[in-house]
Structure 1
Amino acid sequence: MSVALVSEHASPLAVLGGVDAGGQNVHVARLAGALADRGHRVTVYTRRDSRELPDRVALRPGVEVRHVPAGPPGPVPKDELLPHMGAFGRLLAAEWRDGGDPPDLVHSHFWMSGLAALRATRELGLPLVHTYHALGTVKRRHQGAADTSPPARVGRETEVGLGCERIIATCRDEVAELARMGIPPDRVSVVPCGVDTELFRPEGPATPPAGDRHRLLQLGRLVPRKGAAVTIEALTRLPGAELLVAGGPPADRIGHDPEARRLTALARRAGVADRVRFLGGVPGERVAELLRGADVVVCPADYEPFGIVPLEAMACGRPVVASAVGGQLDTVADPETGRLVEPRNPEALALAVAGLLADPAGRAACGEAGRRRVLSRFGWPRVAAATEAVYDAVLAARPAVTEMA
C-alpha cells in the first residue's frame, strides 16, 4: 500500500523539545517506519520551514519526507499556519494528480493537516483517515484567554472529523470529547501512540543522580501546560530529591527562554534553585539514558492529549507519577506502574512521589510492571498493525471503481 502521512508543522526530522516539536513528531516518524516494516511505501508531507531543506529526504528504507513549500520558507508558529493550508492542499493535489502516482490512502495528523488533506483528497477522490493529536475544545477549556489557536479551530476540526472516512483517536478520553463536538463515536477507532521498545529499555547507560539525592525527571516541551511549575512547587516538600527538566531550546540558549526564566525565578523564590537543573533540548539518543537514571519520572501536565513520555519511562522500567488527564488515564496504571494524581496540585504530586521514593521495592515493581504493559500494548509493531487494520477497513468500505470500456 502507498500511504501519505500529512503533518504540516510536525516534521519527523525535527529536533525535539522546542515549542512546536514534541510527541507528534515522534509519532509520525515511528508510525511511518513501522508501516514501512510491514511492507508499505510511506511518504511524509510536512511544511518547508527552511530554505536549506531539500525537496525530498530519505528517512529510512520505505519512508521519504517531502518538504512542501506552503508559506514562507522559515519557522512559523503552528498557530499562525492556517492561512497557508489552502496552498498546502493545492500543492498536495497537484503532486498526486500530476505525478501520476497518488497514494492509496492519506492519513493526516493535526487539524490543519486535516484541512489541507481534505481539500486534496476531495479533489482527487482519495480516502482520508485523520488523527487530531490535540483538540481545540480541550485547549480552550484549559488555557482560556491564553489559547493562541485561531478562533475558527473548533469548527474546522469538526469539518475535518465529518469529512474524513475515519478518525483514529489515541485514547478513550478523545472519543468522548469528539462526541461532544458532534462527531459520532462510530466514526472513531482508538489506536494508541507507540514507543520504541528497543531504544527505550531498562538495560543500557544511565545518567546517575548527584550525590545521594533521589532524582526526578520531567521531560517534554518547555511550555506552561506541561506543569514544570507544579513539580518545582512539589520539590519544596521533597527535601532529598533533585529535579532535572529536559526540553526547550539547546542548553547554550536555555537561559534566554522565557519559560525557563520564569521557572528559574520560581525555583529561586521556593528555595529549591540548587536542586533544579534545566538541561534544554536533548538529542533523542540521550532521552533513554536520562530516563534510566531517574528514580521517578513526573508528568504533571494540566492536560495531555496522549503523552508519550509516560510510555518511554515505563519502557525503561521507571515508575511514573502523572496527572490524571487525557491519554495518561489509559497509559499509566495506578498503582501497578505508577501513580495518577490531580492536575495542578503540588501537594498531591509530592505525596505520590514521596511514597515511591520511600519504597525502593515498590519502585522496582512499578518499573517491571510498566515494561510489561508497554510490551503488551504499546510497541510500534502492534500500533502499526492496528493502524493498518483501520486503513484496510476504510479501503474495503469504499465503492468499487468500475472502468468504462
Structure 2
Amino acid sequence: MTERWLVATTEYAGVTSYTGGIGRHYAALLPALAAQGAEIDLVVFTEGPVDVNATPGIRRLVVHRTGGMPRLAALLHRPRALRRAYLADTYDRVLVPEWMGLGALLPRDAPLVTNLATGVDLAHEISGLRLTDLPASSRPAVVLQSRLEARQVRRSAGIVAISHAMADRAERIWGRMPRVEVVRNCIDVAAVRHAAATRRPPAGWPGPDGPIALFLGRAERRKGVVDGVDAFARVAQLHPTARLVLAGAGGDDRFEPSRAALLDRVPSAARDRVTFLGHVSGDELYGAVAAADVVMCPSRWEGFGNVAVEVMAAGAPLVVTSGSGFDDFCTDGPDCLMVPPAAPDALAAALAAVLDDPGAARRRAAHAAAGVDRFAPAPVAADLRAAVDRVLSRVAIPA
C-alpha cells in the first residue's frame, strides 16, 4: 500500500524566498521519497513571498503566509493549522522539524516523527544568548516557541536526528525522549556538481587578483562569523592579496554583529578586500563555491552542516570545526581540515595552510568529492523510511 506522508516546514527550496540547509534538504528528499512510493502532502509556513509553480513529488502543497502576523499569533497559528491539516485526511507518517513547534498540537496518537535539526533553545545556547539578553518585547515569543518545541519533541512517536551530535545535544536539552534514530541530511549531488561546473559567481564577486576565502553561513556568532573574520585578519598579514567573501543572510542586528562591526575587526589596510554578498540563492551559490580557493564553515556548533556536503560535492577545499555535526562526515586530513570551534588562531592556520599548499588542498577536495554520493536523495530517503518504520514500531524509551 502507498504510504501517506504529511510534512511541514518553514522553508523549502523552490517555494520560499529564504532557504537554508533544511529547505534544500527537504526539496531534495521529498521527491526521492515519492519515487520510492510515498504520497506526500506538504505544508509550508512562510513570512515572505512564495513560488508554487514547481514542487516535484508533492501530491498537495498548502502554503500558509504568516507575514504581518504578530509573532505570538503566528507561533500559535502554525501548529493549529497543521493540526487541522492532519485531521482533515488520513496519514501514515507525519514528519516535522522541531523548529517553531509546528507539530506541538497534533493528537497524541498521531504518527509524528520529529526531525531534529535545530531549536530555539539550542540556537541561543550556541550563540551564548540568555533570555535576558534579548529585547523585552521578544521574550514572550521566545518562551512560547521554546515550550512548543519541547512539547512537540516529547509528544512525538519517534525522533530522527540529523547527526549523532544533534541526538546527544537534544538529550541534554529535553531529557527523556522517544526512541531516537540518526539519519544524515541529503543534497541534490548531481545538481550541485552541475551548477559548480557551469555557473558563474554572483554579482559582486571579487576580481582574480588574489586568493579568495569564502565564508558560508548566516552572519551570526553561532555560525562562527566573528571567528571567520578574526581568522582572515590574521591571514591577511601573511597573504597581502587574499580576499574574504561572506555569503549568507545577516543576523538580527540587535544582538548579532553588524557589517561595520565585523569590518572593524580587520586591519584597515585589508578592509577593502572584504566583500559581503548577503544571502545567495540558487545555483549562484555553487558558482561562488567553485570560484573560491578555500571555503570555511566555522560554526561554533552545527547540527549537521549541509553546506559542507555541498562544498565537497562542488570540489572545493574545505575547513570546518570539530565537535558537532560535521564529525559525522568530515575527517581532518583526508577530505578537509578541521579546527576547534571558536578558535580564530587555529582557523587562520588552516586557511593559510590551504593557501600555502593548493596542491594538497585540491587532493583533499577530490577525495571528499568522491565520497558524497551517499548523501544523494535516493539513499538518504531509503534510510529515512527505514528509520521512521523503526521508531514508529517501538514504544518510547529513554534516549
Q: Could you tell me the TM-score, scaled by structure 2's length?
A: 0.82
Give 1:84-99 correspondences, 5 Å limit: 84-97=74-87, 99=88
Q: SS in structure 2 opposite 1:15?
A: coil
Would you say the 8 A contact 1:161–1:183 is kept in 2? no
The aligned amino acid for 2:215 is Q
Contact 2:179 2:394 in 1 (8 A): no
**Distance apart, 1:235 and its partner CA:** 1.8
Matches within 5 A, 1:295-306: 295-306=293-304
User: Within the alignment, does 1:178 sit opposite 2:170 as a pair?
Assistant: yes
Q: In the superposition, relative to structure 1, how do residues 140 and 235 fare at CA in structure 2: closer, same or farther (>3 Å)? A: closer
Distance in 2 separating the partners of 1:310 and 1:14: 22
Change (3 A) 1:85 1:182: closer
SS at match of 1:200: helix
Residue of structure 1 in register with 2:247 after alignment:
246
* Aligned residue pairs, count: 371
Q: Name the CA distance, whole Å, in 2 between partners of 1:196 and 1:22.
A: 14
Distance 1:274 1:317, change over 3 A: same
Partner of 1:320: 318
Say if 1:85 and 1:112, in contact at 8 Å, map to a contact too.
yes
What is the rounded CA distance, in whole Å, between the counterparts of 1:340 and 1:318 in structure 2?
Answer: 15
Q: Distance in 1 between matches of 2:104 and 2:299?
A: 31
2:83 and 2:338 mapped to 1: Cα distance? 45
1:139 equivalent in alignment to 2:129:
no
The secondary structure found in structure 1 opposite 2:191 is coil
Distance 2:78 2:246 in 1: 36
Contact 2:223 2:298 in 1 (8 A): yes
Q: Is the 1:136–1:153 contact (alpha carbons within 8 Å) kept by the matching residues of 2?
A: yes
Q: Note if contact 1:108-1:117 (Cα within 8 Å) is conserved in structure 2.
A: yes
State the Cα distance separating 1:359 from its structure 2 match.
1.4
User: What residue in structure 2 maps to residue 103 of structure 1?
Assistant: 91
- Map of 1:262 onto structure 2: 261
Partner letter of residue 123 of structure 2? Answer: K
SS in structure 1 of the partner of residue 275 of structure 2: strand
Question: Does the alignment pair 1:47 with 2:45?
Answer: yes
Q: Give the aligned partner of residue 10 of structure 1.
A: 11
Partner of 2:31: 33
- Amino acid corresponding to residue 93 of structure 1 in structure 2: R
Instruction: Indicate the residue corresponding to 2:105 in structure 1.
Output: 119
Percent of residue pairs bearing the same amino acid type: 26
Task: Pick closer, same or farther for the CA change 1:277–1:119 going to 2, 3 Å.
Answer: same
Deviation readout 1:1-33 (Å, 9 max, x if unpaired): 2211111x33442234xxxx5222222222222
Seen in structure 2, the aligned counterparts of structure 1 residues 175 and 30 have a Cα distance that, compared at 3 Å, is same
Which whole-Å CA distance do the structure 1 matches of 2:334 and 2:50 have between them?
A: 45
Deviates more, 1:151-160 or 1:359-368: 151-160
SS in 1 for 2:105: helix
CA gap 1:162/1:368 in 2 versus in 1, 3 angstroms: same
Gaps of 5+ in 1: 250-256, 399-405
One-letter code of the match for 1:110?
E
Tell whether 2:61 aligns with 1:65.
Answer: yes
CA contact (8 A) 1:158 1:183 kept: no
Q: Cα offset for 1:136?
A: 4.4
Contact 1:32 1:63 in 2 (8 A): no
Q: Is the alpha carbon distance of 1:236 and 1:92 closer, same or farther for their aligned partners in structure 2, counting shifts above 3 Å?
A: closer
1:198 and 2:190 correspond? yes
Give 2:93's aligned amino acid. L
SS at match of 1:213: coil
Equivalent-residue separation in structure 2 for 1:225 and 1:181 (angstroms): 17
> TM-score by structure 1 length?
0.81
Name the CA shift for 1:3/1:302 in 2 (closer, same or farther; >3 Å).
same
User: Do the aligned residues in 1 keep the contact of 2:220 with 2:257 (CA within 8 Å)?
Assistant: no
Q: Which amino acid aligns with 2:5?
A: V
Partner Cα separation in structure 2 for residue 205 and residue 85 of structure 1: 38
Q: CA deviation at 1:367?
A: 0.7
Question: Which residue is 1:390 aligned to?
Answer: 387
Amino acid at match of 1:171: S
